[in-house]
């Protein structure tokens, strides 16, 4: 099998992770082109992993005749256009979440990808976490019996800058979108109804920017099982990522990952290490696993495990949550998908 040649758009934090993963641990693939509006960042990354083509124009990646597939790590508002142009150039696409912040744009992207006949994988990295994959396997094997409740806790160690809130789409589309996708993934079912409550309890500047920083969301899945997600932009003890699945046959859960697993028993109590501090620590192996799968999908012509419909449905749930919060009522996901006001 010939080497898969990859272009990367975006040399920021995630672009670096994917590029370095390929250079370090995907021998069947090679990054041959990088573009970023910050040319210095692109040149620095290219020099570290020996990438021959560097530009501040993303089109130079898409139009590069040596590129077979493109990994899109650009800002959210550019994802859709970059994906469309890549697909129309006949090249396979890996796009970081979300595809876009509105459903008509996502549908246009998905239609384009399908029409062009290229592979399209969306970057929901948590699906590739070994612990969560084990839970998914146990649900599929019916180790918990009939599904009753999926509980997800996701709390960041600190909030983003308030100015970031204005361009991120807000908490549900930026942060909770991972949990919405994880809920669908674990349950193996679509979400049909959402009820969200939230408030500003961490940083008043987030409220002034028009968003919330704390939320609890209830989901209803097809078939009647329930989901519960709780989010916070600030947990003083670190990056809090927990999952529990409860059903008629039992329960399975995943607790936080820590730098070590020691417990110290002393006269003033029992002590252990705090959780890993942020997503780049907690999910670094998951990022590597997803990009390895993308290269395998393209190289061996396999179907993607997380694609355009998954990207569409996660945003639809997020938009339903935003509407629920604003209107103080449960919202059917179908209302959002069908464009009802």
CATH number 3.40.50.620 given to 4-118: no
- If we measure between CA atoms, which residue out of 221, 189, 215 comes closest to residue 202? 215
Instruction: Please report which confidence band the pLDDT of residue 1 belongs to, taking 50, 70 and 90 as the band edges.
Output: low
pLDDT confidence band for 123 (50 / 70 / 90): very high
Q: SS3 for the chain, per residue?
A: CCCEEEEEECCCHHHHHHHHHHHHHCCCEEEEEEECCCHHHHHHHHHHHCCCEEECCCHHHHCCCCCCEEEECCCHHHHHHHHHHHHHCCCEEEEECCCCCCHHHHHHHHHHHHHHCCCEEEECHHHHCHHHHHHHHHHHCCCCCCEEEEEEEEECCCCCCHHHHHHHCCHHHHCHHHHHHHHHHHHCCCEEEEEEEEECCCCHHHHHCCCCCEEEEEEEECCCCEEEEEEECCCCCCCEEEEEEEECCEEEEECCCCCCCCEEEECCEEEECCCCCCHHHHCHHHHHHHHHHHHHHHHHCCCCCCCHHHHHHHHHHHHHHHHHHHHCCCEEHHHHHCCCC
**Higher pLDDT residue, 262 or 118?**
118
Q: What is the pLDDT of residue 178?
A: 97
Pick 216 or 264 by higher pLDDT. Answer: 216
Position 239 confidence tier, pLDDT thresholds 50, 70, 90: very high
Tokens of 275: 């959780």
Question: Model-level pTM greater than 0.75?
Answer: yes
Q: Which fold has domain 127-278+314-337?
A: Dihydrodipicolinate Reductase; domain 2 (3.30.360)
Q: How confident is the model at residue 218 (pLDDT cuts 50, 70, 90)?
A: very high
Give ranges for CATH 3.40.50.720 in the chain: 4-118
Percentage with pLDDT > 70 across the chain: 99
> Could you give the residue range(s) of every CATH 3.30.360.10 domain in the chain?
127-278+314-337
């Amino acid at each position: 099998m010939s080497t898969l040649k990859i272009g990367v758009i975006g040399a920021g934090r995630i672009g670096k992770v994917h590029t370095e993963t390929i250079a370090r641990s995907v021998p069947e693939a090679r990054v041959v082109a990088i573009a970023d509006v910050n040319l210095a960042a692109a040149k620095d990354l290219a020099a570290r992993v020996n990438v021959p083509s560097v530009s501040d124009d993303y089109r130079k990646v898409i139009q590069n005749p040596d590129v077979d597939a493109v990994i899109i790590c650009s800002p959210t508002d550019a994802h859709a256009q970059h994906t469309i142009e890549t697909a129309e150039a006949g090249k396979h696409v890996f796009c970081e979440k979300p595809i876009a912040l509105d459903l008509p744009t996502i549908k246009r992207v998905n239609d384009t990808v399908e029409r062009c006949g290229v592979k399209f994988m969306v970057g929901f990295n948590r699906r590739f976490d070994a612990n969560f994959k084990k839970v998914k396997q146990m649900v599929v094997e019916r180790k918990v019996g009939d599904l009753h409740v999926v509980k997800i806790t996701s709390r960041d160690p600190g909030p983003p800058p308030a100015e970031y809130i204005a361009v991120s789409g807000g908490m549900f589309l930026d942060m909770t979108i991972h949990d919405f996708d994880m809920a669908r993934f674990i349950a193996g079912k679509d979400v049909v109804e959402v009820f969200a409550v939230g408030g500003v309890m961490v940083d008043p500047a987030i409220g002034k920017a028009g968003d919330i920083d704390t939320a609890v969301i209830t989901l209803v899945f097809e078939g009647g099982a329930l989901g519960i997600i709780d989010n916070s932009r600030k947990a003083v003890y670190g990056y809090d990522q927990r999952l529990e699945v409860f059903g008629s046959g039992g329960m399975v859960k995943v607790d936080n990952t820590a730098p070590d697993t020691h417990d110290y028993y002393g006269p003033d109590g029992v002590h252990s290490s705090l959780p890993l501090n942020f997503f780049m620590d907690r999910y670094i192996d998951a990022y590597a696993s997803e990009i390895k799968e993308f290269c395998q999908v393209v190289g061996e012509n396999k179907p993607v495990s997380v694609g355009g419909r998954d990207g569409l449905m996660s945003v639809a749930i997020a938009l339903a949550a935003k509407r629920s919060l604003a209107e103080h009522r449960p919202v059917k996901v179908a209302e959002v998908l069908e464009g009802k006001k």
